[in-house]
Structure 1
Amino acid sequence: MNRLLVVVDMQNDFINGALGTKEAELIVGNVVNKIKEYQRNGDSIIFTQDTHFDNYLETNEGKKLPVKHCIKNTDGWEISKEIQKICNLKDHKVYEKVTFGSSELAKDLADGVYNEYSEIELIGICTDICVISNTLLMKTFLPEKLITVDAACCAGITPQSHKQALEVMKMCHIDVME
C-alpha cells in the first residue's frame, strides 16, 4: 500500500502564537506520532505552510481576519519545532500557500503528481479552514482515492467548528477517524 500523509499548517502561530489555541497545543504529540508512523512505514509525507507577508492586513483575508500571522521568515511562520526535531523538512515537499487551499498543490494534483498513492491522510490545523480546504482539493482531483482525516491530529478555531468541519468532510465522502 502506497500512502501519503499531508501535514497542514502545523505552524507556531497556529499552535501557541498569534492564533494559537489549547486544542492545537494538545494535538502536537499526536501529529508527531503520526509522522513517526509514516516514517517507520516508509510512506511519503508532504507539508503545507500558511505564508503571508508584511502587507497581510491589506489583503482580503487580512481585512476579514485582522491578526497578523504566519508572516514569512518569522518564528510564527515556522513549522513546529517538535516536528522539525523528528523530520528534516528539506527532505519533503513543503507547499507555501497564501490562502486556505494550496493552489500549487492543486496544480500538482491536476498534473497527476499524487496519482500513485492508494491512500491519502490529512492532519493539522485548522480543521475548519485549511484542513477542510486542502482535503476537498484532494477529493476534487482524486475522487477515487481513499482520503482520510484523523480527527485526533486536527484542531479547529473552536471545538464546535472542528466538529462541524469533520461532519462536512464526512458528507463529502472523506473518511474521518475519530
Structure 2
Amino acid sequence: MHLHSGVFKGIIVVIIIIGVWGADMKRCLIVVDYQNDFVSGSLGFEKAKALDGCICEKIRECRKAGGDILFTMDTHGRDYLKTREGRSIPVEHCIKGTNGHCLYGNTAQEAREEDLYFEKSTYGSDALYEYLKTAAYDSIELCGVVSNICVLSNAVLAKTALPESEIKIDARCTASNDDRLNEEVLDVLASINVEITNRV
C-alpha cells in the first residue's frame, strides 16, 4: 500500500507537533511519604520495600524529561499520640528529627537538595496544593505510600489544584498494607479521571 505524498506529509507534521508538545510539557513527579517508618519502620510493610526500584526509575525518567521532583514528608512531633490522627492510628511514626522521618533506601540517594519537599502533619499537604495552583504543570505523576491514605489524598489535591492537567499513577509504584483497599482506591482514583497505568 502506498501513501499519497500529501497524506504522508500530513502524518509527519502531526508526529512533529506531538513530539514538540510532549517536549514542552511541564511535568512533575510527586513521591508521597516514601519514608523509613512507612517502609521498614513502625508502619512499614513488605510491598512498600518492593517499590524502591520503581520509584527510583520514575525519578530518573522525570529528571531526564526535564521535570521537577516533589516529595511529601509526613511529619509529626512527640505529641503525635495526643492528636486526632494519633488516637485513630496509635503508632508513633515520622517524628521529625528521627531516622523514621527520612526518605527510604535508594530513593533517598536519588533525592537532591534542589528538589521540593513538603512537610505535612496530616494526609494531604496544603502547601503542596498551594504550590501546584501556581506551578501550571501539564502532567503530574504520583507514586509512594500508602495508596489508600496519603497517595489518594494528595492525588485529589493535585486534581483540585490543576483540574485540566494530566494526573496519573503507575500501579506498580504505589501500595497499601491492605490489598483489597489498594485495588479499591485505584478504582476510585480512576473514577475521578486519574489515569492508572500498568494495572494487572
Find 2:152's aligned residue among 132, 136, 156.
132
**Number of equivalences:** 174
Alpha-carbon distance in structure 2 between the residues aligned to 1:157 and 1:103: 25
Alpha-carbon distance in structure 2 between the residues aligned to 1:170 and 1:85: 31
Which position in structure 2 is the counterpart of 1:9? Answer: 33
Alpha-carbon distance in structure 1 between the residues aligned to 2:62 and 2:127: 23
Report if the CA contact (8 A) 2:52-2:105 is conserved. Answer: no
Which position in structure 1 is the counterpart of 2:122? Answer: 99
Structure 2 length as normaliser, TM-score? 0.84
| Structure 1: tracts of 5 or more residues without a match | none
**Matching of residues 19-30 of structure 1 within 5 Å:** 19-30=43-54
CA RMSD, Structure 1 to Structure 2 (Å): 1.0
1:100 alignment partner, SS class: coil
| Structure 2: tracts of 5 or more residues without a match | 1-24
Report if the CA contact (8 A) 2:167-2:194 is conserved. Answer: yes
Which position in structure 1 is the counterpart of 2:67? Answer: 43
1:80 CA drift (Å) = 1.3
1:118 CA drift (Å) = 1.1
Identity of aligned residues (%): 39
Deviations 1:75-107 (A, max 9, x none): 11001131121222x211100000000011122
- 2:117 corresponds to which letter in structure 1? V
2:134 alignment partner, SS class: coil
Larger radius of gyration: 2
Alpha-carbon distance in structure 1 between the residues aligned to 2:111 and 2:99: 18
1:141 CA drift (Å) = 1.6
List structure 1 runs of 4+ shifted beyond 3 angstroms.
none
Which structure carries more relative contact order (alpha carbon 8 Å, separation 6+)?
1
1:160 CA drift (Å) = 1.4
Structure 1 length as normaliser, TM-score? 0.94
Report if the CA contact (8 A) 1:128-1:157 is conserved. Answer: no
1:2 CA drift (Å) = 1.9
Alpha-carbon distance in structure 1 between the residues aligned to 2:122 and 2:167: 22
Report if the CA contact (8 A) 2:118-2:128 is conserved. Answer: yes
Report if the CA contact (8 A) 2:32-2:150 is conserved. Answer: yes
Find 2:180's aligned residue among 134, 137, 160.
160
Deviations 1:10-58 (A, max 9, x none): 0000111000011101111111111111122221111100000100000
1:59 aligns with 2:80: no
Alpha-carbon distance in structure 1 between the residues aligned to 2:47 and 2:105: 17
